[in-house]
Amino acid sequence: MKKAAIAVGSNQGDSVRICRQVFDVLQKHPAIDILRTSSLYRTSPVGPVEQDWFINAAALLQTRLEPQALLELMIEVEKSFGRVRTVKWGSRTLDLDLLFYENIQLDLPVLKVPHPLMSKRLFVLAPLAEIEPDWVHPGLGLSVHQMLNRILELDDRQEIQKLEL
């Protein structure tokens, strides 16, 4: 079994329900064991498209799937929740991103691990820091906690609220 971390996001439909349900769907897969999930966070959208705020979370899992197979599964799960890819960084019912896979670095046309934008995304790092703060980014040499602190010090444009449900 290999250790991986994923990010979960939604800003269309019942995003809280969707983010909770996706953990159940992934846990039922025979090659995945979810070890921990974060709280849910309400976060401001990032990017050029005006849209509703997101609900975001993260999960730490063990898997027998290789990175590309895990990505393919994540895309199928997104589709099962009604995800249609039309506008880059646009609204979506479900967005799943592979953040880390063990301590490997991949740079393939369809998959980059660690996720290339994670170190700049408060909505990724805050949930991930809740469940795995000491995981070190193999390219940057910084822990999730350190990356989060850098964003909090440097970027006051991204907004985030932990949901108390």
- In order along its 165 residues, the chain shows pLDDT tens digits of 999 999 999 999 999 999 999 999 999 999 999 999 999 999 988 776 677 899 999 999 999 999 999 999 999 999 999 867 666 655 788 999 999 999 999 999 999 999 999 999 999 999 999 999 999 999 999 999 999 999 998 877 778 899 976
Distance in angstroms (rounded) separating the CA atoms of residues 79 and 15: 15
> According to CATH, what is the number of the domain 2-162?
3.30.70.560
For residue 34, the model assigns a pLDDT of 98
Q: Which residues are catalytic?
A: 83, 92, 95, 97
Quote the DSSP letter at residue 46.
-
> Phi-psi region for residue 47, left (φ > 0), alpha (ψ -120 to 50) or beta?
left
Q: What digits encode the pLDDT tens for the residues 37-58?
A: 999 999 988 776 677 899 999 9
Compute the distance between CA of residue 162 and CA of residue 111 in angstroms, rounded to an integer.
Answer: 29
Yes or no: say if 33 and 27 are a contact pair by the CB < 8 Å rule. Answer: yes
pLDDT at 133: 98
79-92 per-position pLDDT tens digit = 999 867 666 655 78
